Chain A
Amino acid sequence: QVQLMQSGAEVKKPGSSVKVSCKASGGTFSTYAISWVRQAPGQGLEWMGGIIPVLGTPNYAQKFQGRVTITADESTSTAYMELSSLRSDDTAVYYCARAPSWGYDYWGQGTLITVSS
C-alpha cells in the first residue's frame, strides 16, 4: 500500500521560506509524478506544481513561478516543495499526491503552513 508521509506543521514569518517534505513508501517512487496541491482555509484545491522523480524536471503553475521549487530525492523516495517570499495568503494546508495522468490516487496527510508576523 502506497503511503505519503509529510512533514509537520510550521509557523513562518512573512518574507521567509518554507520547505515541506513528502516521503513515499510501499510503491514505486521514481516513475510516478508527485504533485503539490494547496488549500487555503475554507477554500478549494489549487495545483502548485509537480515532478516525475526519474526525470527530475519540475512543472510549476504560472501563479507560483519564481517562488516555488519542487525537487525529488530518489535515494530516499522523498519529494520536497519549497515556497519563498511567504505572505499571509500563503497560509494553507499543503498536500503532496501521487499524480499519474489519470488522477491523483494517493495523498499525504497535509501540512499546515501558517504565515504570521
Chain B
Amino acid sequence: IHLTQSPSSLSASVGDRVTISCRASQGISNFLAWYQQKPGRAPKLLIYAASTLQSGVPSRFSGSGSGTDFTLTISSLQPEDFATYYCQQLSSYPFPTFGHGTRLEIK
C-alpha cells in the first residue's frame, strides 16, 4: 500500500492553521498514524486510528479521514511545531508503510 503525502514542504507562520494530506493507494479504513520528527530526534507518535490523539499530545493537533484520504491539522502553529510529519498505514500490519514526509518550515 503506497502513501502519498502533500505537500512535500510547507512554509507557515506561528499562529497559522496548517493542513497536511495523506492519500493511500487503496482503502485502509482508519488504520493510519501520524508522526512528528525533529532534526536528530526519533519520530514521535501524534495520532493513531486516524483521529485519536496520543496521550500528552497538545489538542491543537487533530486528524481526520477514513478509507483513502486523511488529514493532519494543526489549529494554531507554535514554534515547537516546525518539524517533519509522516503518515503511516497499519492496515497491512505487521507490514506498514510510511509516507515520504512533509517538512513544515517557518515563513
Contacts and interface: CB of A to CB of B under 8 A. Distances in A.
Interface of A: 33, 35, 37, 44-47, 50, 59, 61, 95, 97, 99, 101-105, 107-110
A45 B3 CA distance: 12
Interface stretch (B12-20, B21-29, B40-48, B67-75): B40-48
Contacts of B86: 44-45
Contact of B95 (A44, A45, A59, A97): A59
A95 B44 CA distance: 12
A99 B48 CA distance: 12
A101 B42 contact: no
Contact of B94 (A45, A59, A95): A59
Given A102-B48, A102-B90, A105-B54, A45 B33 contact: no
Interface of B: 31, 33, 35, 37, 42-45, 47-49, 52, 54, 86, 88, 90, 93-101
Contact of A104 (B45, B95, B100): B45
A38 B88 CA distance: 14
B94 A44 contact: no
Contacts, number: 62
B33 A104 contact: yes
Contacts of B100: 44
A103 B90 contact: yes
Nearest to A58: B94
Contacts of B49: 102-103
Contacts of A105: 45, 48, 54
Contact of B88 (A33, A104, A109): A104
Given A45-B98, A102-B90, A104-B35, 4 more contacts: A37-B98, A45-B101, A47-B97, A103-B88
Nearest to A109: B42
A33 B96 CA distance: 13
Contacts of B98: 37, 44-47
Contacts of A37: 43, 98
